Structure 1
């Protein structure tokens, strides 16, 4: 299972991400989509299911109807997606969650705590500060998880 993990597109669907979307088995968007056309554009290039959560900029319909969180099972691993990690209201370990995906900060981050992988893929929207334009691959097979960060050069 190959999941493309993206976040903070802020209305911009970069052409560099389209080949990645075509290669994905599933696409997870951790919020701040910015415009519905971003999700529509991903759907036109990829048959993969897309799970997206609402970010703080997703205030107008149809994006305001996105869920705040999503829990999906990928290859036997529970993956929890939310926009702002500070809003996490559960213990992932106690809930049996293997991966927590968030966005919001625009800064890529990968860490493991108490057996749970915490992943922020970074941002794919307009470049902010000196942060990279980034996303990530989440590879899941037989309950094992591997993360591969991706930095795009627009």
Structure 2
């Protein structure tokens, strides 16, 4: 039997106006990119779109006029699975399992995390923008092959100057 083709989604959040070249390198090869809010500058979405089509939501700091066109949440059908995107999990107003959602992507906390609850993968790609406290700089990737979903958090390594 033929193995299903893998579809890769690049996950990024909390850029706050800073999109590092190192983050772009890690997201290269993605078929689609999801930005989970606190973008900070419309130019970031344009740069990300050079890699792959971008779906983005508005974060609590995205208050400039350009961000008004963005939704606060999105539910997407990607490679045969439903993915829900919300900036902060505290603002999630639905039960993902009852909606057939297989993955929830959220940002806001700047803390990268992955967990599965009741068959739903929750992933926070962390922050790719300015360093906050001593939290790591990260992005993530979600690999979908048929019904299988694999997620990985990728550290952004900044070369010393």
Q: TM-score, normalised by structure 1?
A: 0.95
Report how many aligned residue pairs link the two structures.
Answer: 152
Number of the residue aligned with 1:131: 135
Q: Which runs of 5+ in 1 are unaligned?
A: none
Q: TM-score, normalised by structure 2?
A: 0.91
The superposition leaves residues 49-80 of structure 1 with CA deviations (integer Å, 9 ceiling, x where unpaired) of: 10000001100121122101111112211000
1:3-152 mapped onto 2 (5 Å cutoff): 3-43=9-49, 45-46=50-51, 48-152=52-156
CA contact (8 A) 2:9 2:141 kept: yes
Distance 2:78 2:122 in 1: 15
CA contact (8 A) 1:32 1:58 kept: yes
Secondary structure of the corresponding residue to residue 28 of structure 2: helix
Distance 1:21 1:122 in 2: 14
Distance 2:82 2:119 in 1: 13
When structure 1 is superposed on structure 2, of 122-131 and 59-68 the one drifting more is 59-68
* RMSD of equivalent CA atoms: 0.9
| Higher gyration radius (CA) | 2
